[in-house]
Amino acid sequence: MTNKIFRNIVVCVLLSSVVILGLFFNVLYDEFLNNTEANLKEEVTLLEKGVELEGIAYFDDANINQRVTIIAADGTVLYDNHTNASALEDHSDREEVIEALNTGWGEARRYSESIGEQSIYVAKLLGNGDILRISTNTSSTTTLLLRMSTHILWIVIIVLLMTFFIADCLAKKIVKPINDIDLEAIDAIAPYKELTPLYTKLLKQEYTIKEQIDELNKRQDEFKLVIQNMSEAIILINKDATILMYNDATLTLFDLNDLDVGDSVYEVYRSQDFMKAIDDVLSGHKQDLKIDHKDRVYNVIMGPVKNDDQSIAGATVIAFDITQKEMQEVMRQEFSANVSHELKTPLTTISGFAEIMKNGLVEDSDVKDVASNIYDEAQRLIKLIEDIIHLSSLDTDKKLEEDEDVDLNELVRDIFEHFKSAAIKRDITLTLSGEEIVYHGNYSILEEMISNLVDNAIKYGNEHGHVEVVLSKTSAEVLIKVIDDGIGIPAGSKERIFERFYRVDKSRSKELGGTGLGLSIVKHAARYHGGHVRVESSTKGSTFIVDLPLV
């Protein structure tokens, strides 16, 4: 912009200088001619006095530089101090002669192309009827300019230098306020009024841009907040596989200590399958792969991001931790297999005894025992099916019935009464201690949960021992402890005893009529109420602790 202003100022000044110089020289030249004519008139007046006194002889001794001519009224040249008069043509057609004969004075200017000069003629009518004419030659405007070319050149050079200097200063002065505009804090008042429209537009634009930036920052903060709080790992990469953005879950899922924007996405997980999937997605193909990393299983979904012209701009990488899902799938498969096995065993026994009876191979005295075995296996089968149905209902995480205030102390005493005969049979003492607690929950589920724990404690506790239920409460939860003095649980089985159909001692469990689902029901019953169950066990005795939140 500075250069443009500079050039425009220089051009304007030069054009103005040329016009001014031309006008000046024209005015000066006209003034010069007018002065010359005035001088010639004075000389004509002086020469007229001499001619009247002495006639043409006056010119013999007069020292006159200009050309003097005496012309008769008919145009005949009577005298010329520069040329033989007889050799000159008739001058009756000369305008200055005609004008002098008519008005007494005559003037004329004629340009001679041959000599490149202009002649000025002044004529006066004498008293005897003759005409006295005096003339002089002057240079033309072009000739005068050529003669003054050196001076004109110096004038032009000086004007140019001054123009360059002034134009440079003016251009910088004009542009400086514009260059000094702080776009982040535009003043409401422009440095000069010509910039007021620009400042007004800039102020409006600044306000609009600020609103847009605030909106973009707000959306970006919201986006970052959402991304950072997602449990899934999210990575955005460009077409060169460089990381543009990632969330904290990326570090957690892939067990990374540090990761920076600008790093290669190949640094996230170094495996051939992952790297190949990155290359494929950057070629425009969606990818879905499963990777195992440090006892965890991740499902990684990759999608290409395309420009308007369908060229690849980058890709999104999303990783889900599906370890729990995979474990649940394994557990489902194991559960199906275990259910089939557990159902097959009593059905096989029932079928075998029935076949023996059908074939008449049972003595009359043994019919009662065989029928008793069939009944026991059928009851075991019914108990197994009931536990499976109940466990399935707990798995739905839906309220089975309305909750109510349950007196846990009364509930435990009723459960003790139910298992009284089993406890007496093994000479086990049942004890309730702790606080008086009323808990708002599902009565039947709480009853089954505590019943399963008490039943297991009686079955696997030592004969002549004791089983104690301790109830306590904090500001946040209710604790139900079921303590026995049995053989305890091996350390390797503590995490698995709550799995479906898992048994520490399979032979003893079946001997005691266990289905392998009791502790799993306890776990789901606690979870139904928002709590959880854990076990503390050593080589002697076990303590099962159920934590139930008050809210």
DSSP letters of 468-528? EEEEEE-SSEEEEEEEE-SS---GGGTTTTTSTT--SSHHHHHHTT--S-HHHHHHHHHHH
pLDDT class of 471 with cuts at 50, 70, 90: very high
For the beta carbon of residue 289, count every other beta carbon within 10 angstroms.
Answer: 16
Kindly report, residue by residue over 204-223, the tens digit of the pLDDT: 877 788 888 888 888 877 87
Q: Is 190 left (phi over 0), alpha (psi -120 to 50) or beta?
A: beta
**173 or 40, greater pLDDT:** 40
How confident is the model over 143-197, as pLDDT tens digits? 656 666 677 778 778 877 887 788 777 777 777 766 666 666 666 556 666 667 7
Q: Which two tokens stand for residue 111?
A: 């340009």
Instruction: Indicate the average pLDDT of the chain.
Output: 78
Identify the DSSP state of 363.
Answer: -
Please report the pLDDT score of residue 432 as a whole number. 92
- pLDDT at residue 40 in the model: 82
Would you call 138 exposed, middle or buried from its count of C-beta atoms within 10 A (0-12, 13-18, 19+)? middle
Q: pLDDT value at position 37?
A: 79
C-alpha span between 2 and 360 (Å, rounded): 121
Q: Using alpha carbons only, what angle is made at residue 329 by residues 328 and 333, rounded to the nearest 5 degrees?
A: 115
Torsion of CA 21, 23, 28, 34, to 10 degrees: 170
Question: CA 457, CA 416: separation in Å to the nearest integer?
Answer: 12
Task: Look up the pTM and report it.
Answer: 0.40
Q: What is the pLDDT of residue 438?
A: 92
Lowest mean pLDDT among 63-67, 113-117, 516-520: 113-117
In this structure, what token pair is assigned to residue 270?
A: 């170094």
C-beta of residue 37 within 8 angstroms of C-beta of residue 122: yes
Determine how many CB atoms are found less than 10 A away from the CB of residue 90: 13
Pick the residue with more confidence: 31 or 467?
467
Say what percent of the chain tops pLDDT 70: 77
* pLDDT tens digits for range 385-443: 666 666 666 665 555 567 788 899 999 999 999 888 888 998 999 999 999 999 998 88
Q: Which two tokens stand for residue 160?
A: 């140019």
Q: Range with the lowest mean pLDDT among 242-246, 291-295, 301-305, 393-397?
A: 393-397
Other beta carbons within 10 Å of 94: 20
